[in-house]
């Protein structure tokens, strides 16, 4: 018997979440598959969305090439763009869409493309206020002209990225939209402004292309938005040991939990090496055989402990859901002082089981 820790990936839920994103945005939507589809398996997710998604987006070229090697021939946008001239040649050869946020990337594209490469779709990154990457002010028009001067470039999409779209009461997103509109005024081509939070909370930003990331995987970037997203990943394991402790006894590294009463402790085959957050505190929710439970003690590399005192029927082999349909991943992330993006993309070592009806 193999170790009982695994991540179940519901591909029907993935397709349903993409459909919601597409309907909400109204225009075309790229499915963001960077970081191995946020820990869900990029190739499997891309195949599941084939014929439904308008295209995909990844962080860097190697992620895109892995999808090409897996037989994915749909459009793929490389969000960081190429890192040098040879990589630009490779991207062009594989028909990738490249984001352009530096002038040398445009020069590489001009050098890499030939007349036979006609049909290149470039994405011009505008820094509208996040100040992480992109062209600013008058640089935008100059960069746009430089891209249009490349014979093989048939389309330039103007894009930006929001810094605080998940904060509906902040005025920064509206300021970024105004900055983007000013910088791109009079320039032809499609626009792409919305990430998941943008397309959910900022209808005026829904232009030609959306870029749906975290919402595809069922984690709502906006607390209590009311969206009917379904969790795609359920992280599960089993109780592999049970111990009865008297009141006043320590549990785990650092003795961060002292039993307040006679306590039945369940040992679970899951740890931070699997991607469960090490700093999840005492009381972080779990589900034990379908019933609400809690984490106790510090998470170790390969194991963690849960309180079985109020679960008299639970024992060796009992199912433990770390997050999924019963335990929202955002609740675990909030307890650990982080975000769902991080803990989902950190999942590793456990088996991934992709399911579909």
3-state SS, residue 153: strand
In the chain, where do the E strands start and end? 6-10, 28-32, 56-58, 76-78, 97-100, 120-125, 153-159, 191-194, 209-212, 233-245, 250-251, 257-258, 263-268, 285-288, 291-296, 304-307, 319-323, 351-355
The domain boundary, picked from 191, 217, 243, lies at 217
pLDDT of the residue at 66:
98
pLDDT (0 to 100) of residue 302: 98
CATH code at position 326: 2.40.37.10
Contacts of 208 (CB under 8 A, 6+ apart): 27, 28, 157, 190, 191, 192
Residues 175 and 237 in one domain: no
The answer to whether position 5 is within a domain reads: no
- ∠ Cα 17 23 24 (to 5°): 90
Domain boundary among 189, 217, 245: 217
Q: Is the dihedral of CA 21, 22, 28, 33 positive or negative?
A: positive
Give the end of a domain, one of 192, 217, 242: 217
Q: Which of 6, 141, 217, 253 is catalytic?
A: 253
Do 175 and 252 fall within a single domain?
no
Our answer to whether residue 341 is catalytic in this structure is: no
CA–CA distance, 326 with 288 (Å, rounded to integer): 10
Output the domain CATH number for residue 175.
Answer: 3.20.20.10
Give per-residue pLDDT as tens, 60-70.
Answer: 999 999 999 99
Instruction: Find the domain containing 66 and state its range.
Output: 11-217
29 and 129 fall within a common domain: yes
Q: What is the DSSP-derived secondary structure letter of residue 317?
A: T
Q: Measure the CA–CA gap between 256 and 279, rounded to whole angstroms.
A: 11
Residue ranges in the chain modelled with pLDDT below 50: none
Q: Nearest CA to 178 among 162, 189, 157?
A: 162
**pLDDT at position 254:** 96
- Which of 117, 133, 140 lies closest to 188, judged by CA? 140
pTM score of the predicted model? 0.94
In a shared domain, residues 135 and 264? no
Structure-token pair, residue 107 = 């020069």
Per annotation, catalytic residue among 34, 217, 276, 341: 34
39/118 same-domain check:
yes
How far apart CA 164 and CA 201 sit, in angstroms, is: 11
Do 291 and 184 belong together in one domain? no
Residue 93 counted as an annotated binding residue: no
Only one residue has tokens 């992480």, namely 132
276 carries an active-site annotation: no
Q: Does 132 carry a binding-site annotation?
A: yes
């Amino acid at each position: 018997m193999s170790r009982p820790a695994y991540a179940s990936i519901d591909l029907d839920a993935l397709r349903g979440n993409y459909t919601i994103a597409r309907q909400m945005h109204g225009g075309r939507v790229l499915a963001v598959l960077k970081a191995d589809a946020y820990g869900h398996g990029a190739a499997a997710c891309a195949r599941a969305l084939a014929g439904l998604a308008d295209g995909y987006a990844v962080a860097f070229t190697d992620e895109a090439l892995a999808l090409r090697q897996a037989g994915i021939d749909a459009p793929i946008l490389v969000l960081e763009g190429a890192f040098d001239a040879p990589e630009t040649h490779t991207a062009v050869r594989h028909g990738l869409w490249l984001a352009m946020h530096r002038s040398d990337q445009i020069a590489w594209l001009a050098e890499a493309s030939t007349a036979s490469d006609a049909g290149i779709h470039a994405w011009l990154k505008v820094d509208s206020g996040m100040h992480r990457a992109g062209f600013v002010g008058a640089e935008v028009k100059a960069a746009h002209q430089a891209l249009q001067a490349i014979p093989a470039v048939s389309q330039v999409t103007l894009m930006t990225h929001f810094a605080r779209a998940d904060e509906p009461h902040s005025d920064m997103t509206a300021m970024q939209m105004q900055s983007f509109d000013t910088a791109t005024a009079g320039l032809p081509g499609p626009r792409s402004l919305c990430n998941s939070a943008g397309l959910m909370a900022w209808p005026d930003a829904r232009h030609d292309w959306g870029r749906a990331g975290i919402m595809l995987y069922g984690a709502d970037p906006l607390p209590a938005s009311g969206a009917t997203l379904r969790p795609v990943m359920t992280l599960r394991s089993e109780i592999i040991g049970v111990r009865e402790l008297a009141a006043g006894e320590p549990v785990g590294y650092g003795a961060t939990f002292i039993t307040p009463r006679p306590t039945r402790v369940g040992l679970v085959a899951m740890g931070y090496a699997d991607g469960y957050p090490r700093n999840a505190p005492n009381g972080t929710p779990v589900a034990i055989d379908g019933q609400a439970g809690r984490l106790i003690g510090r998470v170790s590399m390969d194991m963690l402990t849960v309180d079985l005192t109020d679960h008299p029927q639970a024992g060796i082999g009992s199912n433990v859901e770390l997050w999924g349909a019963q335990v929202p991943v955002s609740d675990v992330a909030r307890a650990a002082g982080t975000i769902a993006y991080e803990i989902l993309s950190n999942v590793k070592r456990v088996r991934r089981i992709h399911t579909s009806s």
